[in-house]
A and B are shown apart, each in its own frame.
Chain A
Amino acid sequence: MANIMEIQNVSKIYGPLKALQDVSLSVPPGQWLAIMGPSGSGKTTLMNIIGCLDTPSLGEVILDGVRLSSLKPGELTTIRREAIGLIFQQFHLVSYLTALENVMMAQFYHSLVDEGEAMEALERVGLSDRARHLPRQLSGGEQQRVCIARALINHPKLLLADEPTGNLDEINEKLVMDILHKLRGGGSTIVLVTHAPEVAAHADRVIVLEHGKLAEDRLNERGGDAGPLAAAGLAESEGEVGGAKMAS
């Protein structure tokens, strides 16, 4: 099975600072990858490059068979819109739109707005009764679940989550991790940035960055080959979360 993502000798250099140095990585479809490392190790930089929010200074990123270095900014926007779902630590919900409208906004920029489908996405994250609330009327956990529903609404091939539980209490962290488990079970490819080992423990594979370099790349004990895991998960859980379906 072709890898959904290939990172080949990627470096990101800001003047004298080397945020990433010669990082190479392959991610098969359906794998849950956790990126760990201390602050300033290059986690977010790597995620921005994978998410087409930034470009590498050197090296190549191939996403679903497309070489990103050959793309113009507008084409990168298209890739981001079509193939990537983003979950942020700060949630980044639009303050004047309701939970439902925040999800619909992702549809708006992707293709066609479908209120019913957006409501279903909120139902899947357990927020149908909070759909008409504004972000300020929601708890942090609820806001993060809206953010997840928004990330999944367009069925992205790759889900990128930057410290998704960083601002949550224990109960909400568990809720969010349960949702991510369901997604992985449904065959979604997840790249999660975290500094918390207990969060990274949920992933199939963990890489550790230090000073911009890939210091460690290991499979979690229950992980192994992500492909068969994903296939098994898809058979078990398809339709439960259902927002992110794999293109294998």
Chain B
Amino acid sequence: MGAKTALQGNRPFLFRMLASSLVRRRSRLLVALTGIAIGATVLLGLVTLCYDIPRQLSREFRSYGANLAFVPVGGALALDRGLLEKARAFLPQGELVGLTPFRYESVRSRMLPYTAVGTDFTEARKTSPFYRVEGAWPARPGEILVGGDVAERTGLGPGKTMPLDGRNSRRERYDQEFAVVGVVITGGVEDEFVFLSLSDMEAMTGEEGRVDLAEASLSAGKDELERIAGAIKAALPGVDARLVTQVTRSEETVLAKLTSLVYLVTAVVLTLTMICVATTMMTVVLERRREIGLKKALGADNRRVAREFLAEGLCLGIAGGLLGSALGLIFARVVSENVFGRALNPELFLIPLTVLVSALVTVVACLAPVRRAVDVEPALVLRGE
């Protein structure tokens, strides 16, 4: 009978020996199993969080402001509002936080020049959550916000009025008085502006449908944003969609650092797991020197002894990996709910991956003890030396 056939025929007994060893020596192997399970718990927990963190944090990052801007292409001075609505159709509704149009006009108030910004206040609150408004946001026609610097220079604030006048593109004169309901403070250029609703601006200037700039805030990563921008540019030649690099870059940097940190912790945990398993297996080998000696005395060659130990390590790795995966999901869920305040959305493919890594780590950790195992001299250990 060929060696291969004998090997196949003996496989059920190999599994029987393994099962007996694992089940009847379970108290001995509990330490190794616990170590592997803890490693797998941390591994699956952290990698699950790693996958979920971008999703968890992307909405948090929206507080940085818009991450996609729409500007006119080439020589065009402004966007057509209809074109902007077409661009909106390209934005995934599930990921869209807000889309805010901006129109800029040079106006004067009491002989002093200002930049008036016509916008949609409802959308602006979504895309620019960092706007701090003292007073109230405009809710009715004729209500405006003034920037912090404007308020400081002019003494304007909630309850005061501000006349605006100027000329439209047809050189026609306009003049209208608005009620200041709030002061907007951003620490940026917005503090120099006067904000009014886009409809008020269109009514004041007598010019409709023009937008100079639009900003969108999407819960999406850099790659997704680039894909959306590319699709819009390809489909709508009049619109140039650009990533707001300052925001997306910050987002990418923070996520990359966070992910690196998680992977570093994971690597440390895996190393510790490997040391724990290797130490435990070393103890197991020392405890079983006599058994190894006996097997060698009965005719087991080094390869067979090594294979049996590695198979035992593999079983331990798989069992620990499965146990750790279950605990890891619970760990990730607890962290997700308590740290991010959101439900976890686990990636199920990480479970077999964790089991695979656990099994691999355990087998690698077993290599050194197994090498010692096969060096056992049967004659010495059988007479108790």
Contacts and interface: CB of A to CB of B under 8 A. Distances in A.
Interface of A: 44, 48, 51, 53-54, 74, 77-78, 80-82, 86, 88, 90, 92, 94-98, 101, 104-106, 108-113, 134, 150
Contact of A82 (B294, B299, B301): B299
A104 B13 contact: yes
B138 to A, nearest CB: 80
Nearest to A153: B298
B176 interface: no
B24 interface: yes
Given A44-B383, A51-B297, A110-B299, 20 more contacts: A53-B297, A53-B379, A74-B301, A81-B298, A92-B290, A92-B297, A96-B25, A98-B20, A101-B16, A105-B295, A106-B299, A108-B10, A108-B17, A110-B298, A112-B1, A112-B6, A113-B9, A113-B10, A113-B12, A113-B13
Contact of A112 (B10, B20, B304, B384): B10
Given A78-B299, A81-B299, A82-B299, A108 B13 contact: yes
Q: Interface majority SS on B: helix, strand, loop or mixed? A: helix
Interface size class of B (residues with CB under 8 A): 20 to 34
B378 interface: yes
* Nearest 10 A/B pairs, CB to CB: A81-B299, A96-B24, A53-B379, A113-B13, A109-B299, A48-B379, A109-B300, A92-B294, A109-B298, A112-B9
Of the candidates A77, A96, A112, the one having the most CB atoms from chain B within 10 angstroms of its own CB is A96
Interface of B: 1, 6, 9-10, 12-14, 16-17, 20-21, 24-25, 290-291, 294-301, 304, 378-379, 382-384
Contacts of A48: 379
Which interface residue of A51, A98, A112 has the most chain B CB atoms within 10 A?
A112
Nearest to A51: B297
Nearest to B293: A92
B13 A53 contact: no
A44 to B, nearest CB: 6
A152 B251 CA distance: 73
B24 A86 contact: no
Contacts of A111: 1, 6
B14 A108 contact: yes
Contacts of B13: 104-105, 108, 113
Given A109-B304, A112-B1, A96 B382 contact: no
